[in-house]
Amino acid sequence: MISGIIPLNKPVGMTSFDCVSRIRHLYNQKRVGHSGTLDPNVNGVLPICLGYATKLVDNLMATGKIYQGAITLGFATTTEDLDGTIIATDFDFKPLTDQQINNGLQHFLGDTIQIPPMYSAVKVKGRRLYDYARHGETVERPRRQIKITNFQQRCASWIDPISKTQTIYFTVHCSKGTYVRTLAVDFGKYFGVPAVMTQLTRMMSGGFTLAETVTLEELEQAAQTGQLAEKIQPLGRALQGLPTRELTASQFERVQHGGFLDARELASQKPILVLRYNNEDRATYHLDQSKQQYRPEKMFRLN
């Protein structure tokens, strides 16, 4: 079984599941998963985990994300992006100044509560919200806490004299679970103008930047030349920043059987440790403070 992470540059027009399926086929491996869904009309960084790395999806998602995109003022849609049907228009609004835009973006910084859109993959009572939406049903959506650490203009906005819309180009740094299209709609609501997200690219996710990504075309070419393994990043990329300990042979033997390790022998009081043997990440262990023991959390290659 191959283990590691492929930082994929997901193209527009494919679902995240489509990308996982393609990689399953290329690597002839069933144990494949992604860390954070991207909508079909969004491109950019989509870390895809193979083998033992699938245990680290939560670690990758916890690092936060960076996006670049565009908000267009003047109309709103059912899906909050260009895939939906227009449900509101206002082409007589007074275009926002740079100062107003900057003040509006700053308003969303920090911790806030967001309600996910009806056209989303969030599950309620065992069904995806988009399934309710497609059947014309309504359901109470779960509120979730998100955090925006940076939200600013990338360049001057553009006012279209023909459509009488205004497009704002932004960069946003946000926590996992943030729906940027909902953020775009809420930005418009802040000024009392219907709004829609008209473009979005994920620039960073799971610690991987867009510059580090590979495309599906590059993977297919690598498959033809027998170089697929070279496109995989080690699973340790998902563990960066965590303290590590190199195990002795006797300690590793205990870890292989799921044994506990005394905190004193590891000389640590850190909540989580990455345990390595022969310069390879083997497991993460968490500290039971009351018993001063490190216990198994996630186990990787143990042979």
Residues noted as catalytic: 39
Burial 24-63 (b: 16+ CB within 10 A, else e): bebbeeebbbbbbebbebbbbbbbbbbbbbbbbbebbbeb
Task: Write the single-letter amino acid at 262.
Answer: D
Distance CA 295, CA 283 (A): 10
CA geometry: angle 96, 97, 100, nearest 5 deg: 80
Sign of CA dihedral 41, 47, 49, 55: negative
d(CA 108, CA 168): 15
Q: 């345990």: which residue's tokens?
A: 275
CB atoms under 10 Å from CB of 253, counted, come to: 12
Contact 215, 9 (CB under 8 A): yes
